Structure 1
């Protein structure tokens, strides 16, 4: 049976940009502390601390030559590559050398968009046709990185071959300011994902070098693992929060000063259990159609019906080594089922993994902290 397990060691390798050619690797015995995480719709980070006295003179000299963004940090948990991304900062003290890095989405945060954003064509032959929001995200990344007058080389971060998609079946139409079909929106690519595509149903994360462009998981997706409270160390809380629930989600571009000529979108169900329970979202984004507003409402509805029941894992809690899930399966966004037996609520709930943080020290070993968010689905039988 698969278990999270306890690693025998962590190993760090500094590569040249691109992740293929090694630059240096401090001895395992000199690696004092390792921290890394994976997260959903955000940039993950990693830090290693090296004891200079145990690293040796030659390694120390190479550590002093590490250049942010020219080099990348790679972490191995035993033999498994678990994290990779560009070095962003180094800090040297008398006794230690610290390397800080961010995951591969950092390249998207440091690359400004130079392409027009007009994905409205119904013709599949059009390279900027409408389609799944994940395909649109990949196209924006590819058009900016595969070539261009400001690129030092095609795909200089070496990330296009490592994009993995799980498409939403819904076709998305997206443009930025429909009054102009040629102008580029001069913002970092990551801001386009965060501001425009995530609200339309995109989810992104990284695993090693791979950039995962996915969609919100539902109860129709298979669970990667089924956990019980025996697999979680520390206390837990079961919270049923009515403030987060809704049967209908409305999104409108109306303002308090202007209500004429505006539009709205709505998503949800007519519930006999809760009656009418509305949630209203106002947006000031320009160029949105009623179709766009409906998509935003659909994305905002996820996890609101039924009233979400969350299993809160307080700070300091972590997965036990016996948890029936591997590090490869711990991808932010995937479904994990948790059965909270022995509690008054006796909740068995599907969740999505939001993020997890790993801390390893030579003295204490490894701790894996996780954050989970419930997957909401309509009741199919009598109300509880």
Structure 2
């Protein structure tokens, strides 16, 4: 199914499930999906009299924004910032991971030798346990990385703990109220793209700042893990990072290897500005463009040609009145 030119609708939903408002005239809609972080969405509404009264009752965190594209649900999450102007109402929201940036561990959690996705699932369950806004967790596949971790009650945000795990071999993303956990080398393909599928062509960039040939991960106390060394092509470029939640050398070494895989060779990116806008004729279905999945990309129109599987790092969809819809993707080499 091609990208096409989608049309959006929205609802404002109370934490008890009741529909608070159905915005009648959407002047602008923008929503994103991201890997290993919290995504955002924004709508600009020109309300009629009835809708205006309903939108006056919107409150941050009490209500959530839900979006549909061509009648398919594509995004939802708690409202962070409602703004009322005489020209309209603007609402900004974050996805379900935003709640975990406002939650802490509610009990001491110790993992002796557990798989990273299972650790993440327990952290999420603990974070939502006292007050669940409605969520589900799906482990797409095992990371095949095990390790020791320790978390103390009321110390650190759950969202930060998940981002730390994402630096050591785990990926996660939110789709609606679902949190997907997957290995960083996951690469199920959801389509293919060529030069003609990008509205403004492609721009390829090599990220030398992201290159490292040796990683040192410093865990708790005297725990250290290393991976890599002098590269015969690049020479020696070393990076050190502290991960105090790592309690054993095997886990620290696995974390160092994970970082090395992502930073050698120098990452080559399809640049993430407007040149990543997809043509309406691109043969991919927008709801399937989920961070962590892959598309096959080939380009022969730049001096730096690419023909490889690219991991989706982010998705941005924007619809603005007569200008219509744009769909943009952020891609990086998958390593597969």
TM-score by length of 1: 0.79
Q: How far is the alpha carbon of 1:284 from its aligned partner?
A: 6.4
Rg larger in structure: 1
Shift of the 65–115 alpha-carbon distance from structure 1 to 2, 3 Å rule, reads same
Q: 2:244 is matched with which residue: 281, 285, 299?
A: 285
Q: Does 1:204 align with 2:176?
A: no
Structure 1 residue matching 2:310: 3-state secondary structure: strand
Shift of the 370–157 alpha-carbon distance from structure 1 to 2, 3 Å rule, reads same
Shift of the 113–276 alpha-carbon distance from structure 1 to 2, 3 Å rule, reads same
Q: How far is the alpha carbon of 1:285 from its aligned partner?
A: 2.5
Per-residue Cα deviation, 1:117-145 (whole angstroms, up to 9, x for no partner):
2100xxxxxxxxx3221111111221343
Q: How far is the alpha carbon of 1:87 from its aligned partner?
A: 1.2
Q: How far is the alpha carbon of 1:276 from its aligned partner?
A: 5.5
Shift of the 287–141 alpha-carbon distance from structure 1 to 2, 3 Å rule, reads closer
Q: Distance in 2 between matches of 1:199 and 1:358?
A: 27
Q: Does 1:131 align with 2:130?
A: no
Q: How far is the alpha carbon of 1:99 from its aligned partner?
A: 1.6
Native 8 Å contact 2:106 2:153 kept in 1:
yes
TM-score by length of 2: 0.90
Shift of the 312–347 alpha-carbon distance from structure 1 to 2, 3 Å rule, reads same
Q: Distance in 1 between matches of 2:243 and 2:283?
A: 45
CA RMSD in angstroms comes to 2.6
After the TM superposition, which residues 170-209 of structure 1 pair with which residues of structure 2 at under 5 Å, given as runs? 170-176=144-150, 183-195=152-164, 197-209=165-177
Q: 2:198 is matched with which residue: 232, 240, 243?
A: 232
Structure 1 residue matching 2:262: 3-state secondary structure: coil
Q: Distance in 1 between matches of 2:286 and 2:176?
A: 11
Native 8 Å contact 1:217 1:352 kept in 2:
no
Q: Distance in 2 between matches of 1:39 and 1:241?
A: 19
Corresponding position of 1:336 = 295
Corresponding position of 1:46 = 41
Q: Does 1:354 align with 2:313?
A: yes
Q: Which ranges in structure 1 are unaligned for 5 or more consecutive residues?
A: 121-129, 178-182, 255-260, 378-384
After the TM superposition, which residues 85-100 of structure 1 pair with which residues of structure 2 at under 5 Å, given as runs? 85-100=77-92
Q: Distance in 2 between matches of 1:25 and 1:364?
A: 23
Q: Does 1:106 align with 2:65?
A: no
Q: How far is the alpha carbon of 1:3 from its aligned partner?
A: 1.2
Aligned residues: 336
Q: Distance in 2 between matches of 1:50 and 1:93?
A: 10
* Structure having the larger proportion of residues in strand: 2
